[in-house]
Amino acid sequence: MTATGVDVELSRRVHHLPAAGAVVVATALLALLPVALDDAGRFAAVLVLQLALVAAWVVATGIRGSTGSLALGGLAAVGADLAMVLPERPELDRLLAVLGLGFLLAVVHQMTRPSPRRYLVASLAGVLLLLCCVSSLAVLLAVARVHDGAQAVQTAALAVGGAVLAGHLVDLVLPRPQIADGVPRGLLGLVVAVLAAVVVTLLRRDGGALVDALSAAVLGASLGGVAALTAVGASYVVVERGAPSWSLPVVQAVLPLAAAAPVAYALALYGTA
């Protein structure tokens, strides 16, 4: 039974094409807006993606107490972003304050819902995952502040976008061997997605030495692997929803960026990006 109360199987076209379009928009926003507006553009791009994910996630998953969940997600997004841009040297442990306070507020919010409090545990889990995702997206702002960080963020955005887009296009045509019954995702699309990310990072590497190529390949494989697996996970959300909605392509496009952001930070911090 789906969130709409009716068992529906979406066509592959409905499952993949809107998501592919949303991926292009999200990638362009994150890669190009900083070129025009520098740090302010990057901050705006990340915040827009966070708020879009908050709204889409609440709608797509059917979280109970939706108004409070939207407020919590929005506050977490702003708090996480400020924690990454205000200090002279951003450190990820500052996000623990956002997550810790968000956890307490999420518990209070769900337990103060009017009785009967149906799906309390599921809704609480959905809110907590949302808080983790918006905080993870804020890590992109920290990536921009390491050595050569602006290029690192742009490379990460293009690599993740290329991986997710390639996966959707391949699975639109041939989702085989199928990863799970009822989910139009295949192993071929997963492999092609990782390879697409590697190609992007190889094309964007600075030097021509072998070590530069290996470093770029590691970056692309890492980002592509995380993004591709998360994109498959987002497809499970789409299947569970079981009905077309504006929220589903947004979740499919932004969730992989959120998952890949800490990986991009770790690799940029140690000079791989």
Residue with token string 């492999």: 191
Contact 61, 237 (CB under 8 A): yes
Structure tokens given for 147:
């050595």
Condensed to tens digits (0 to 9), the pLDDT of residues 103-120 reads: 999 999 999 999 998 999
Condensed to tens digits (0 to 9), the pLDDT of residues 67-101 reads: 999 999 999 999 999 999 999 888 899 999 999 99
Rounded to whole angstroms, how far apart are CA atoms 199 and 162?
9
Which pLDDT value is given to residue 75? 98
DSSP 8-state assignment for residue 185: E
Rounded to whole angstroms, how far apart are CA atoms 151 and 164?
20
Condensed to tens digits (0 to 9), the pLDDT of residues 250-264 reads: 999 999 999 999 999
Contact 230, 260 (CB under 8 A): yes
Q: How large is the average pLDDT for residues 19-47?
A: 97
Which pLDDT value is given to residue 54? 98
Q: How many residues does the chain have?
A: 273
Condensed to tens digits (0 to 9), the pLDDT of residues 148-185 reads: 889 999 999 999 999 999 999 999 999 999 999 999 99
**Angle formed at CA 89 by CA 200 and CA 197, multiple of 5 degrees:** 10
The domain spans of the chain are: 16-269
Rounded to an integer, what is the distance from CA 170 to the centroid of its chain?
Answer: 20
pTM greater than 0.85 (yes/no): yes
pLDDT reading at 1 higher than 70: no
Rounded to whole angstroms, how far apart are CA atoms 145 and 2?
43
Query: Which residues face 180 on adjacent strands?
Result: 183
pLDDT reading at 229 higher than 70: yes
**Angle formed at CA 7 by CA 5 and CA 13, multiple of 5 degrees:** 120
Which pLDDT value is given to residue 228? 98
Which pLDDT value is given to residue 5? 42
For residue 8, what pLDDT band results from cuts at 50, 70 and 90?
Answer: low
Rounded to whole angstroms, how far apart are CA atoms 44 and 51?
11
Average pLDDT, the chain: 93
* Residue 195 Cα distances to 92, 131, 166, 217, angstroms: 29, 30, 9, 9
Nearest CA-CA partner of 29 in 197, 176, 216, 154: 154
Rounded to whole angstroms, how far apart are CA atoms 181 and 186?
10
